[in-house]
Structure 1
């Protein structure tokens, strides 16, 4: 750790988050477990998991919305849509490489994300919600397939 003095208080987490991170890493590296602020460390680790899941759902909704727009507004297809589809597929694939267990979560939340994406696509396109089928018109695997584009 650098030469900055570490306050001798249990509220370093509240005073200086970045310094708390550095101090916590230092304590872990030195196996000084008794000085860890376990409640804050647990909170941060749980938060990391929630953040990964939130990012997955967000990327999936954006991807699904653009696949719906691509399918139901063929006259408006653009390179921007293609790029967005590519980018969000990549983000999801990278998340699965880093955390393979998120693939299970992906299948678990797929339907919910699709229902949100339907509504978002309706709002963005101005098309009635009924245009977008209640059941997804492409499979969970096709959604991630870089070669798949709905007709």
Structure 2
């Protein structure tokens, strides 16, 4: 099969029926250097999805950090160890992704304001406070949001 051919029916069937087995088969074919037997079309799609997955995970984790920082700042009477733990856990997740893929740092900076806007909406929903309570521009620098030592007004 050339790189321009569609996957064979058996490749497509396996891809649709048992993804884990399809991955195992593709891995074996790669290890054996049998590149002409690979399901190139689906392999390309899966490799592209790997990159998207990390970008989505970065934004998702950052939104949670920002959400809890907003709740921490604007609902001090509701502060909990759960919020603190969530901030810490999601910072760690971001750090792990960036350690594995440092080239995603610029992406995170580029998406920071959009992540904040999503967190702002979620904070209003979860706290019951008016949306205008939360600043339109993120009140934290990215470096603060990711800094393990940064937590507003801690005891």
- 1:9 equivalent in alignment to 2:10: yes
Q: CA deviation at 1:8?
A: 8.0
Structure 2, unmatched stretches of 5+, are 1-7
Q: Which runs of 5+ in 1 are unaligned?
A: 1-6
Q: How does 1:11-90 map to 2 (within 5 A)?
A: 11=12, 12-90=14-92
Residue-pair matches, total? 145
- Runs of 4+ in structure 1 deviating by more than 4 angstroms, as ranges, are none
Which SS does the other structure have where 1:101 is aligned?
helix
Per-residue deviation, residues 22-68 of structure 1 (Å, max 9, x unmatched): 11000000111000110000000011111111111110111100000
CA contact (8 A) 1:64 1:114 kept: yes
**Within 2, Cα distance between the matches of 1:73 and 1:8?**
57
State the distance in 2 between where 1:26 and 1:8 align: 19
Q: Which moved more, 1:41-50 or 1:9-18?
A: 9-18
What TM-score do the two structures reach when normalised by structure 1? 0.92
